[in-house]
Chain A
Amino acid sequence: MTLTLNVNGKPSTVTVSDGSMPLLWVLRDLLGLTGTKYGCGIEICGACTVLVDGQPEKSCDMDVSSAVGRRIVTIEGLSANSSHPAQVAWIANQVPQCGYCQSGMLMSVAGAMQAGHHGASIMGEVNNLCVCGTYPRIKAACSKL
């Protein structure tokens, strides 16, 4: 079946065998937006986090059919040139190590900011896993947002 999604402000048409393919794999394999990562596939790690209508959602467990008609923002669409305040803070605080979890981390932070959180209260909304243990720098970066 052919579906039209709104990804990063643009309509994107994809053909899937059925509507149950998770949004994660549609983004990565069909649309080539590989910034969104697979970590666990079972809604635990948060590496796959994207914004859906402004809310952080784990794309590994969201059927693509249920994403139709909603505004999807991935890390590639967070800003045109890494200018989102969270991205700027991430560079300033040298947050990433391996970096694999950081797309999801940043999308969770961006979602919390959209919901009106700032500074220390952002961390209360971020539950993503980072195996590299970058949490202190994430906290430091968020504290100024």
Chain B
Amino acid sequence: MNIPNPLNRPSMEQSSRRAFLGTATSGLTLAFFLPEVSRIDELNAAPVGTTVNAWLQIGADESITLTVGSSEMGQGSFSGLAQVLAEDLMVDYAKVQTVQGGPTLATIAPIGTSINTVGSSVIRTNFWKMRDAAAGAREMLVQAAMQLAGDAVRTNFTVANGVVAHKPDAKTWTYGALAAAASKLAMPASAPLVPDTQFRLIGKTMPRFDIPHKVNGSAVYGIDVRLPNMVYAVIKHAPSFGGTLAKAPAAPSGYMVIPTKVVAGTNRGLEAVGNVNAVAVVGPNTWDTWQRARSLNVTWNLPANAASLNTAQFLADAQALAKNATPYAAGAPNGPGTLYTVEGDATAANSAIAAAAKVVDATYSLPYVSHACMEVLNCTVDYVAGVKCEVWAPTQSAKAVLSLVATLMPALQPSQITVHTTYLGGGLGRKAEVDFVSQALQVAMVVGKPVKLMWPREEDFTHDQYRPMALVHARAGLTASGQVMGWSYRNISPSILAQRGVPLGPKGDSQGYEGSQDLPYAFGTGLTEYVTHPSQIPVGFWRSVGASINTFAVESMVDELAVAAGMDSYQFRRSLLTDPRWIAVLDAVATLSGWNSAAASGHFRGIAIGTAFNSIVAEVVEISNVTSTGFTVSKVSIAMDCYLAVNPGQIEAQLTGGMVHGLNAALYGKQTFVNGAAQAKNFSKSRMIRPSEMPQVAVTLVPNPTVSDRTKAIGGAGELGVPTLAPALANAYYRATKNRVRALPFFPNATMGD
């Protein structure tokens, strides 16, 4: 059982389409739609209806194949979908083959047309669709058996393990034997689902299909794609964002140098459409080509405002906007520096705070942070003019790749374009972008051979689309007895959506204020504002994005209020919460961490709670060995309510991984700029924790066990470990030192050697 590696299969799209449409008599094929999610469209705006983007095929040979278009980057969602499918299809989980579908523009039978793998979405948005499709297929198979048995009484039939049994005459049929007959029947409008009490798979920790490939080197990531006659391209960008090629350099003998430009749809901030911002050196292998790229002498034009493109200036701009920003006005240009009111009223909040006995006023800052996926950006293209374009990419957005090919190669017919999603060596949001794909396509159009384009690690760090920097100014007023009377919160941060050409409404950028609105606390009169920071350094989605920024500021501030009120951090939060789900999660993490018993001598704990993607999560961080130069993160306890956990073991792994991502960012993560050029160029200047620095981790999921209920929103897991880590850590550090760390990272000058 496996997810085929792309090179192990023929063009999946073509062969599958043939199989599905041409051999209907040999099996049952169901096409259905899984909702598309993109961070920009938001879940609710996802199209519904007629498009097919997932396939379930039951073969006469007893095979069960599920083809989906989402990407596997370690979150285990392929296996999770198979688990859900197998439950209601009533088959053995190990029998389900999941296949990576590629999108296609050919209208006849689009497979995996589009599922963007973002927003921790794969399981939570597809759970019910998958169950309905599986149950519908199972009932079609039963109906086929009813026809064969000449018995129209459904209750005379039972199903188990892919076999339909007719009780009165003790006859049985396998799904394979029924598949052809079932394919002639109509899908029932609704089919009964397996009751929760009979779950064999949902809610159970099941092994992932992709893991065997990942212990023997056989998993094919984008960077591992090899094609006959392939050449290698290594990218070299202008050092500064906004820089452009002044003069094409001469190619070293035996190599090609191909300038590449920013194409529409991949432009971000300073990287404007049409800018020739990089050259690709093309040669016979990665290393020799990379050496030529390194020594290539290229003259670049700096952007006109290069001198102001530095970290100190960005911070100064943010500080000015914290005091003064022009309010949004309908119909006005509302350029950078616009103040958006997300919720509440400034006058009311200000007077509530002014009337308070105690006022807490704090400013938090967070830097730009790189993604640093273990697998650098890369893309392989086999383009034959007028004949075909086949793309292999470690992409979170195969559909965007497809649209890009269609735009850059308008002469190709839809059926001549194929996109293969490979395994991703981490995605973290960066691989939802397609700038690297556009470069590989441009190079392929020139070289006339299959080409693999890779970004050396230094390019990957310095031409990222970073988690935005942010400055947050928060104020709150307390009564003498510690009740919160007023809350005012202003986040100044570059807009991810604006850099993607999305017009901002009166509330501004949802990615910017995510995690700071609709707070569950009884804060009296509240105000949440968002200001677009003018910096044009490219920014993008990053595991939990805005929630990671705002949860740090909100939960640090709440802790400061607890201190001002003279209350325990956990009890203070609890006193401000009314929603039973939030209280349950907070209580769960307190219990898990032993909050109510004293920490060991020299150990200090901090707590934080937050929400993202319909899940509520709380973390307690415990630190020890606190000295003037550092500390040990000893233990992290995590409690989450995602409403329903399909595969708890995998959720635990994701929460742990997200927590480590948050920890790396909180301790060390930062990218700084001089003249528009990023300064941290490799892991040496962007430290991450090593195995020996890993804290002990405990995870608990609430409520547990769950009841499946269609009316409840299932929450995500992939990004949820991130947001509460930084504030819980800062809160623990305050307990230890009485120093409040308001500017991340903790150790901005940390380095890492081997």
Contacts and interface: CB of A to CB of B under 8 A. Distances in A.
A45 to B, nearest CB: 6
Contacts of B654: 97
B752 interface: yes
A38 B212 CA distance: 20
A36 B657 contact: no
Nearest to B699: A136
Interface string B424-455: 11110000000000000000000000000000
Interface string B279-293: 000000111100000
B216 interface: yes
Given A38-B223, A41-B456, A98-B426, A134 B374 contact: no
Interface in A90-145: 90-91, 94-103, 106, 123-124, 126-139
15 contacts: A34-B223, A37-B425, A38-B223, A38-B376, A44-B683, A45-B683, A90-B211, A91-B207, A98-B374, A98-B425, A99-B213, A100-B425, A131-B664, A132-B660, A133-B661
B695 to A, nearest CB: 9
Nearest to A136: B697
A52 interface: no
A68 to B, nearest CB: 17
B265 to A, nearest CB: 26
A39 B653 contact: no
B216 A44 contact: no
B210 interface: yes
Give the 3 A-B CB pairs with smallest separation, nearest first: A35-B217, A133-B660, A100-B425
A129 B219 contact: no
Contacts of B220: 34
B692 interface: yes
Given A100-B374, A101-B374, A131-B661, A136 B214 contact: no
Interface residues of B, number: 63
Interface of B: 73-76, 207-208, 210-221, 223-224, 226, 232, 285-288, 372-376, 423-427, 456-457, 649-650, 653-654, 656-661, 664, 682-684, 688-692, 694, 696-697, 752-754
B749 to A, nearest CB: 17
Contacts of A47: 374
Interface string A80-95: 0010000100110011
A42 B691 CA distance: 19
B656 A34 contact: no
B216 A97 contact: no
A45 B215 CA distance: 18
Contact of A138 (B213, B216, B691): B691
A100 B426 contact: yes
Given A94-B208, A99-B210, A106 B426 contact: no
A32 interface: yes
A115 B413 CA distance: 58
B425 A87 contact: no
A136 B285 contact: no
A40 B374 CA distance: 8
Describe A's contact surface by its main secondary structure: loop
A75 B217 contact: yes
Contacts of B210: 96, 99
A101 B657 CA distance: 13
Nearest to A98: B74
Given A96-B74, A129-B683, A133-B656, A39 B661 contact: no
B71 to A, nearest CB: 11
**Residue picked from B220, B223, B287, B697, most chain A C-beta under 10 Å:** B287
Contact of A98 (B232, B424, B683): B424
A75 B214 CA distance: 10
Contact of A131 (B221, B457, B688): B688
Nearest to B650: A94
Nearest to A135: B694
**Residue picked from A30, A78, A91, most chain B C-beta under 10 Å:** A91
B556 to A, nearest CB: 23
A78 B208 CA distance: 22
Interface in A38-57: 38-45, 47
A45 B74 CA distance: 19
B694 A40 contact: no
Contacts of B697: 136
A100 B375 contact: yes
A43 B682 CA distance: 11
Contacts of B692: 123-124, 127
A44 B752 contact: yes
Given A34-B217, A136-B697, 12 more contacts: A21-B287, A34-B224, A37-B221, A42-B683, A42-B684, A44-B682, A91-B211, A91-B212, A98-B423, A100-B373, A127-B691, A132-B657
A134 B658 CA distance: 10
A131 to B, nearest CB: 5
Contacts of B425: 37, 98-100
B691 A40 contact: no
Contacts of B689: 135
B221 A100 contact: yes
Given A101-B374, A135-B660, A87 B691 contact: no
Contact of A44 (B217, B232, B659, B684): B684
Given A35-B217, A134-B657, A139 B423 contact: no
Contacts of A95: 211, 215
A41 B682 CA distance: 9
Given A98-B74, A100-B425, A106-B215, A131 B753 contact: no
Contact of B690 (A42, A75, A129, A137): A129
A127 B690 contact: yes
B286 A98 contact: no
B255 to A, nearest CB: 12
**Residue picked from A33, A41, A128, most chain B C-beta under 10 Å:** A41
A42 B690 CA distance: 16
Interface in A5-44: 17, 21-22, 25, 28-30, 32-44
A74 B649 contact: no
B660 A99 contact: no
Contacts of B74: 96-99, 132
Contacts of A36: 217
B73 A98 contact: yes
A4 B425 CA distance: 31
Given A44-B683, A133-B656, A25 B286 contact: yes
A21 B285 CA distance: 10
A35 B650 CA distance: 24
A22 B683 contact: no
B681 to A, nearest CB: 10
Contact of B216 (A82, A124, A136): A82
Nearest to B226: A32
Given A17-B288, A96-B211, A133-B659, A40 B457 contact: yes
Contact of B691 (A28, A32, A100, A128): A128
Contacts of B649: 94
A99 B682 CA distance: 20
Nearest to B694: A135
Contacts of B752: 44
B184 to A, nearest CB: 41
A60 B356 CA distance: 61
Nearest to A17: B288
B134 to A, nearest CB: 24
